[in-house]
Amino acid sequence: MKVVLQDITLYKVFRCFFPTRHEKHHYLGITWNPYDENSHMYNVIEEFIVYVDSIARPERCPKFFLRLLHLFGNDNSICRVRNRYLSDLHHHILNNIMIMDIKTKWDEYDIRIYGHFPDNIHKRIEEIEDEFYQLSTKDPNSYKL
């Protein structure tokens, strides 16, 4: 089976240095936020992504470097590998921490976060899921997708 990789354009390299708001933490994996920007849930998910970034990324490692490694090593994907050496370096720098998916499933249990995390991040995920469950039981119309 032939593997098809994306073309690396100058625009994609440019986006590594000047990302949009949604691409800022793209090197962590799937970091899109399924909630409305003006909601409390949106802010909770954004804070979680920043929290994961603070644990995964070394303090002196610039984000543009990780975005470049993600582009050239992983083809900006969580499942493809363009260059094994660069991909392994990317995972090594991030201590194998990766967000695999952020999804909404049911109305009352509305968020699920999947990935490769250490125990302290798993505890934070449980807190977020409990908080969302509490919000949905108080007022099911309090949030928007």
* pLDDT given for residue 138 in this prediction: 67
Of 78, 132, 107, residue with least CA distance to 87: 78
Strand partners, 115: 99
Lowest mean pLDDT among 9-13, 37-41, 51-55, 126-130: 37-41
* pLDDT given for residue 108 in this prediction: 47
Whether residue 77 is predicted with pLDDT greater than 80 in this model: the reply is yes
User: What are the residue boundaries of the structural domains of the chain, listed by start?
Assistant: 10-138
Q: How many Å apart are CA 75 and CA 78, to the nearest integer?
A: 8
- What is the mean predicted confidence (pLDDT) over 102-126? 84
Q: Give the number of other CB atoms < 10 A from CB of residue 69.
A: 23
* pLDDT given for residue 3 in this prediction: 72
pLDDT digits (tens, 9 = 90+) for 17-67: 999 888 899 999 988 888 888 888 888 889 999 999 999 999 999 999 999
